[in-house]
Structure 1
Amino acid sequence: MPTYRDEGVVLRTHKLGEADRIVTLLCRGHGKVRAVARGVRRTSSKFGGRLEPFSHVDIQLAVGRSLDIVTQAECLHPYGKPLASDYALYCSGETMLEMADRIVAVENEPAPSQYRLLLGALRVLGQGTSDGPRPPSMILDSYMLRALAVAGYAPLLDSCAQCGSKGPHEWFSPSSGGMVCSRCRPSGAVRPSPESWELLSAMITGDWVATRSTSQAAVRECAGLVAAFAAWHMAHGLRALAMVPHD
């Protein structure tokens, strides 16, 4: 039975039979992979807690008929540890994992940019940015915007998404693709504050310095905009996102 080795982040697990689990990972070289971890639910399992969500693992798999089989796993970074004792951090992390699982829809196709984005987001979520801590929901929204951008759904923030006229414009429409002018404004468009426009731009580029003095009101407003944008372009919303606090 041929084998291969990769690094990956555990996105979710499902019980299989009495002692096994199906593990879904986002891997550096193979994209999204679903594999069976045999005996992992037994206390004597050689994998221990290494195949839990948030774990960054060095993993060896054997190619199977329908699902590959985990033969070896070593934990590289337990990203879940700093999140477990903080509700906001944990819920934000869960949403990141759900987002990665959903946005990388095709299995066994390389998705290196999505893999790197997820690793970086989990690291910043647990350790903070180089410019200091930021609200968990802000880090989550930055990750969601950038993951959507990599997938081809980047919101336009400097010109009208409908007619292309150069901005800035006042209106934001998830269904139109971002900023819209007054002439193209569809029903349901909203008018974000100037501070929220600046925060959206900073989050999609990862400019954490520019977010240093952002108000909580702008963080909350942007969370609503990002959630609506993601729900529209991913067909429906993320379940874990409803649990993320924004205060």
Structure 2
Amino acid sequence: MSVSSALSTNKSFRDSAIVLRTQNLGEADRIIVMCTRERGIVHAVAKGVRRSSSKFGARLEPFMLVDFSASGGKKLATISQVVTRRAYAAPIAADYGVFTVAAVICELAEQLVQNDQDAGSGQFLLLAGALSALARRSHSPYRILDSYIARSFSLAGWGLATSACGICASVDDLNYFSAEVGVLCQNCGRRNLVQRVTPISEDTPAYLTALKAGDWEAVGTLGATSSLSVRSSRLMMEYAQWHLERPLKTLAILEKES
């Protein structure tokens, strides 16, 4: 269901959501941009949340996982009730590096779900898992980001090739990577069939495959050397930027920090 059809009437609705970002509106209100479980990306007004007396202002900060009730309007819903399910905002904001990665993930989610509302439920669960892992410091934030990129883009229909050549499907001599398709065999990589081709080490395909599968034990073993992790992160950032309609503002900040 599209955002426009979901909000075309004034009927109230309930959903679960992750707050992606906010925008001040007037003197006391905010526009809340959310990735919902059932309705994709929803823009909603939270009235009075910037006042100190607001009952649920703190519940509508970026990275919060909430259940909410709202009534639909022609362009914006109006939030009437919010219940916190998972408070990820504080633990994520406590570390600037983690915060920046979370911001990149949320911007990615907004673009991916905006372009494919039907995949909203799967993307919602994937986003929730990534933010939970960041809040709990389960893994390196950069590895969480790389895994999220690989999995979310695959869910959105872009098949990132990691274990076989993205052009001929060969599993031998995977010595190159292209931001267009993923790993390439030596033959295809040398034929200029795609753009942005980069030579890679022999252990890169297995590492990218582990990231894509969310196999954290394999990620930890294969990525024991920081150089492989750093190189793979750059490949995943190039891949994400290549396939998105517009550049990620937060990713540019992350690249400066790294």
Deviation readout 1:24-75 (Å, 9 max, x if unpaired): 1111111111111111111122223111100111100011122110001111
Choose the corresponding residue for 1:111, options 108, 120, 138: 120
Aligned to 2:44: 35
Task: Find the counterpart in structure 2 of residue 162 from structure 1.
Answer: 167
Give the distance between the partners of 1:199 and 1:62, measured in 2 at CA.
Answer: 46
| Corresponding residue number in structure 1 for 2:236 | 226
Map of 1:102 onto structure 2? 111
Distance 1:33-1:79 versus aligned 2 partners, 3 A rule: same
Give how far 1:110 is off: 6.0
1:172 aligns with 2:187: no
Provide the alpha-carbon RMSD of the alignment.
1.9
User: Which deviates more from structure 2 when the two are superposed, residues 82-91 or residues 108-117?
Assistant: 108-117
Q: Deviations over 1:102-129 (max 9, x none)?
A: 1111587561100000000111111144
Query: Which position in structure 1 is the counterpart of 2:252?
Result: 242
Unpaired segments ≥5 residues, structure 2: 1-9
Q: 2:152 aligns with which of 147, 152, 166?
A: 147
Specify the code of the residue in structure 2 equivalent to 1:232: W
In structure 2, do the counterparts of structure 1 residues 106 and 193 end up closer, same or farther at CA, with 3 Å as the change threshold? Answer: closer
Normalised TM-score (structure 1): 0.91
Q: Distance in 1 between matches of 2:178 and 2:216?
A: 25
Deviations 1:163-201, CA, capped at 9 Å, x for gaps: 3334342111112x0122233223531111223222211
Cα distance between partner residues in 1 of 2:170 and 2:53: 64
Output one character per residue of 1:132-172: Cα deviation in whole Å (capped at 9) or x when no partner.
xx211011110111000000112112222223334342111
Distance 1:43 1:110 in 2: 37
In structure 2, the residue matched to 1:199 is: 207
Structure-2-length-normalised TM-score: 0.87
Give the match for residue 5 of structure 2. Answer: none
Partner amino acid for 2:168? C
Q: Which amino acid aligns with 2:163?
A: D
Moved more, 188-197 or 53-62: 188-197
Equivalent pair of 1:19/1:38 in contact (CA under 8 Å):
yes
The ranges of structure 1 where at least 4 consecutive aligned residues each deviate by more than 6 angstroms after the TM superposition are none
**Distance in 2 between the 1:62 and 1:107 partners?**
23
Q: Secondary structure of 2:247's match?
A: coil
Do the aligned partners of residues 107 and 42 (structure 1) sit closer, same or farther apart at CA in structure 2, a change above 3 Å counting? farther
Q: CA–CA distance in 2 between the matches of 1:107 and 1:225?
A: 24
> Is residue 124 from structure 1 mapped to residue 124 from structure 2 by the alignment?
no
Q: Partner residue of 1:78?
A: 87
Is 1:138 aligned to 2:146, yes or no?
no
- Percent sequence identity over aligned pairs: 35
Specify whether residues 99 and 174 from structure 1 end up closer, same or farther in structure 2 by C-alpha distance, changes over 3 A only: same
